[in-house]
Structure 1
Amino acid sequence: MSLPASRTRSPWLLAVLLAALVVAVQALLVPLFAAPATHLAPRDLPVAVAGPPQMAAQLAGRIEAVRPGAFDVTTLPDGAAADRALRDREVYAAFVAGPDGVALHTAPAASPTVAALLTEASAQLSAGRPVPVVPVVPADPDDPRGSGFAAGFLPLALTSMLAGALLVLLVARRGARLLGLVGYATLAGLVGAAVLHGWLGVLDGSWLLEAGAIGLFALAAASTVAGLGALLGGPGIGLGALLVFLVGNPLSAVGAAPELLPQPWGTIGQFLPVGAGGTLLRSAAFFDGAGASRALAVLAGYAVFGLLLVLVGRFRPAAGAVPAADRGRPVEVTV
């Protein structure tokens, strides 16, 4: 007896459909990752202008005229106020007007990319003359361009996503999943800070603050994946991976600044775990926690949401789970 022709062709059709689906996903992911990096430019970037009122007003007008819409300019009375704004992460840089001309005060620790961009742009405000640059909050001397910070943060997102998925797929009990998430976050914070601060030297702040920031990010990311997986099974794990990495990573601006990304993507990225985690870790490592309130709230929200989903989710591993009738029985091992 022969099978219908449609059944014999179905594996071939399925193979073609799967290949087309993967290519369609690729077509979406490539611009998602590449487009933000190729369209970096200031968009309402917070900067300050400091000095006597008349000089500050003239300088602010020149800045807005050179790049309309690029900068969100705040006027401050003097250089000391500008430096406080930099240390509080209220602005990325300050143009300080004085009797000897204009000086640029920067915070490379907030974004080396922005500091370099504004250093180049400052020449347009001084008719091509060199502008003195004062790094008020410098980047770590072992990582002046911030590339180590950005590269070191990526594995934290990947391992957190993996930890959340494995806890759902391999652990059946809710309490054990919760313990695994908290244990993972604690160890990830301690070890991550030890590696990034003590070994690689790309962080330059309080080790405990850095460990806390990494631990909260790890908990938020892992519990989001685990919670959605516990609620929806495999599709939930995929959705968690989408939020944590596939969408969250290219929109995070960890290596640049959210104000350099096309909007509203830069803002959206700060409400996803990776973007909020990068902002929180920068604040902890270089600014004694200043400017971290929104990132802290976002990550705490993801962590609580994910843990609650783990508690209410009913998904159990399909393979490897021990039947209730066999729990507690000795396991026979044949040698």
Structure 2
Amino acid sequence: MTIYTAAGAGQSCKTLLTNLGSGLEDQGMTVTCDEVAPTTEDDPNASGLSVLALPLAFGGMISAALLSLTMKKRYSLRVIGSLSFSVIAGFLVGAILQFGFGTFDANYWELSLILALGIGGTSMFVLGLESLIGYAGLGLGAVLTLFVSNPLSGIATGWQWLPSPWGMIGQYLPIGVAGNAARSVGFFDGAGATHSVVTLIVWVLIGLGFVGLATLKDRKAAS
């Protein structure tokens, strides 16, 4: 029997299959293990992925909060600031994961753009909420980001290991899809990342839509 493992998809799955193979060998069967998506030698357990949720969550939240507090009613500058911060933070986090932790050995530019999009999805959405409903938007955005999107992301183990249907729900929230896209680019040559990228773009567009509605509301109030 040949058992195919993919460490890049999460250590839980590889451990389960490896233990299964060991049990079959104990019963006298010849078992060969074939690793199809190996992790790197520098970070064999892909520990860098376990901390990825922090910059994705706090990067988006902090940028949205700072821009909301310092650029009141200056919506165009908020959008420019959010997108600029997201790009810079994405490339910085990508560099730390790839060249610092050694978690990935993939295309650095693709990985960084994915991370920038992930941070931008949270930042723009929270920024849009605050623009539309005020400081309550920051609180609502913090709850959705830290207490919903973060625990349902499944970044450390892979979303498939979360109880159903929570893992699937997490794949429609910014942190979960950003983590899945980073895993896809980092270990699977981008396979399966389309859904995640499209979902992140939708979150950015929703945030932009909220900012647009806030702009129209302010213009109507001023006229």
Q: Same fold (TM over 0.5)?
A: yes
Between the two proteins, the alignment pairs up a number of residues equal to 213
Give the equivalent residue in structure 2 for 1:168: 68
Query: What SS does the corresponding residue of 1:199 show, helix, strand or coil?
Result: helix
Greater per-residue strand proportion: 1
RMSD: 1.7
| Mapped pair 1:104 → 2:36 | no
Output one character per residue of 1:55-112: Cα deviation in whole Å (capped at 9) or x when no partner: xxxxxxxxxxxxxxxxxxxxxxxxxxxxxxxxxxxxxxxxxxxxxxx12111111212
CA distance in 2, matches of 1:205, 1:265: 29
Asked whether the equivalents of residues 108 and 135 of structure 1 are also in contact (C-alpha less than 8 Å), the reply is yes
- How does 1:26-65 map onto structure 2 within 5 Å? none
CA distance in 2, matches of 1:109, 1:128: 29
> What TM-score do the two structures reach when normalised by structure 1?
0.60
CA distance in 2, matches of 1:153, 1:128: 41
Give the equivalent residue in structure 2 for 1:147: 47
Q: Which residues of structure 2 form unaligned runs of 5+? A: 216-223
Larger RCO of the pair (alpha carbons < 8 Å, separation 6+):
2
Give the equivalent residue in structure 2 for 1:286: 187
CA distance in 2, matches of 1:128, 1:154: 44
| Mapped pair 1:178 → 2:70 | no
Among 293, 299, 303, the residue aligned to 2:200 = 299
Counterpart of 2:128 in structure 1: which amino acid?
Answer: G
The sequence identity of aligned pairs, in percent, is 35
CA distance in 1, matches of 2:210, 2:37: 40
> What TM-score do the two structures reach when normalised by structure 2?
0.89
Asked whether the equivalents of residues 43 and 101 of structure 2 are also in contact (C-alpha less than 8 Å), the reply is no
Asked whether the equivalents of residues 109 and 140 of structure 1 are also in contact (C-alpha less than 8 Å), the reply is no
Greater per-residue helix proportion: 2
CA distance in 1, matches of 2:211, 2:16: 44
Measure how far apart 1:125 and its partner are. Answer: 4.9
Which of the pair has more CA radius of gyration? 1
**Residues 103 and 213 of structure 1, relative CA distance in 2, 3 Å threshold:** same
Give the equivalent residue in structure 1 for 2:34: 134
Query: What SS does the corresponding residue of 1:250 show, helix, strand or coil?
Result: coil
Measure how far apart 1:131 and its partner are. Answer: 3.1
Counterpart of 1:299 in structure 2: which amino acid?
Answer: L
**Residues 313 and 121 of structure 1, relative CA distance in 2, 3 Å threshold:** farther
